[in-house]
Amino acid sequence: VAEHSPLGRVTVAFAPRNELGVLDHDVTLPSGETVHNPVRVIVSGTGSEVVFTLRRQPGTSDADFERDADTVAADLARLKELLESAGEGAPAFGVPNASGSRRPGSGSH
Identify the structural domains of the chain with CATH numbers, from first to last.
2-103 (3.30.530.20)
Question: Residue 46 — pLDDT band, cuts 50, 70, 90?
Answer: confident
pTM (predicted TM-score): 0.69
Summarize the confidence of residues 62-76 as an average pLDDT.
Answer: 94
Contacts by residues 104-108 (CB-CB < 8 Å, ≥ 24 positions apart):
104/73, 104/74, 104/76, 104/77, 104/80, 105/50, 105/52, 105/72, 105/73, 105/76, 105/77, 106/49, 106/50, 106/51, 106/52, 106/76, 107/49, 107/51, 108/44, 108/45, 108/47, 108/48, 108/49
